[in-house]
Amino acid sequence: MDFELSDEQRAIRDLCRDFAGQVVAPAAEELDREHRFPYEIVRQMGELGLFGLPFAEEHGGAGADFLSYCLAIEELSRGDAGVGITLEAAVSLGAAPIHDFGTSQQKADLLPDLLAGKRLWAFGLTEPGAGSDAGATATRAELQDGEWVIAGSKQFITNSGTDISAGVTITALTGRTAAGRPEISALLVPGGTPGYVVQPAYRKLGWHSSDTHPLAFDGCRVPEQGLLGRRGGGYSQFLHTLTGGRVAIAALSVGLAQACLDAALSYAKERVAFGRPIAKHQAVQFKLADMAMEVELSRLITYRAATAYQNSAGKLTGEVRRLAAMAKLFSSETSKRAADQAVQIHGGYGFIEDYPVARYWRDVKINEIGEGTSEIQRILIARELGC
């Protein structure tokens, strides 16, 4: 078993680490304070080829593997989780379903700009009454005269309201199966389509540099050719999409946990109490040791899950789903513990927004919720164990 990264993977990691340190991290506090989307950073990320990392060159991608993409997510999130989730949502949730399930024409029309980072595509699954219970989708789409007529709403949709947002893939109830079960399909809805309304942005606890909106569909019409994949295939498509997304969120969590450890260790070596740096006090040393151990364990399970996902070649096995759930669960909970301990080590200063650990503490909670809650991950793991 080889735990070493390839030369190409190390090069991508180092490129993203340098970019995060020189460009992302210095802007993070201001972006967070102003709740401002990082257009210039996104433009530079596009020029670096980050939005096309895990996709084939024939579609305008960089031809790298899925682990390389996760390395990029990790390093960017170490600088700012809001920037990390912008890339993750654009790739795992936006471009990947089109790449994996789209027709040749859909790919030709949409992927070049998405993989270049010139435009962003969103993914609309969650609804006011359908979060963890995604099968309870209430948004409806009826085929009338060669058009899908959509009515419903989506919420918590990332990258849906920026100046470069191009559209959204949504799940919708399109009928009933022969057995009477809901038939859920995926539809591509371009921005500017009449009846498609991007509502005002949320006031969020964290991820202030990312873009998140509720969406409404009132008599929204898209061509019949806007169906993504086969009719009735939406449920299986989003389960496939979320598996890769969970591994990417695990990578985001690893990056944020590492940022917490970096900040706590640096502060502990400088802050003097009782005549010596607090890093010399065993109570603080134990916190730092636990953080370092859990970050490394999170990194290992995430890289393991990423490798299993890329080796599956799109045919997701129970093992791949289990590893993805484990990586997402353990890494997200690790990042929350790391943020909590980083604030504790900073003492009163950890409660002050002048120190980045306050931002980390606000940013981290959503990792346990988005793209499948911790509770759902435990259910998935237990299911794969045969319980």
Active site residues: 371
Q: How many Cα atoms within 13 Å fall on the side-chain side of residue 306?
A: 29
Residues found in the chain = 387
Nearest CA among 293, 291, 300, 292 for reference residue 323: 300
**Is-contact 97 186, C-beta < 8 A?**
yes
In DSSP notation, 268-314 reads: HHH-EETTEEGGGSHHHHHHHHHHHHHHHHHHHHHHHHHHHHHHTTT
H-type alpha helices, the chain: 7-19, 25-34, 39-47, 66-79, 81-88, 96-101, 104-115, 234-270, 282-311, 318-346, 356-364, 374-384
Q: Which residues lie below 8 Å from residue 227, measured CB to CB, with a gap of 6+? A: 148, 185, 186, 187, 188
**Is-contact 210 82, C-beta < 8 A?**
yes
Q: What does DSSP assign to residue 118?
A: S
**CA 65 to CA 356: how far, in whole Å?**
32
Q: Within its chain, how far is the Cα of 209 from the centroid?
A: 14
Nearest CA among 226, 168, 228 for reference residue 197: 168
**Is-contact 81 257, C-beta < 8 A?**
no
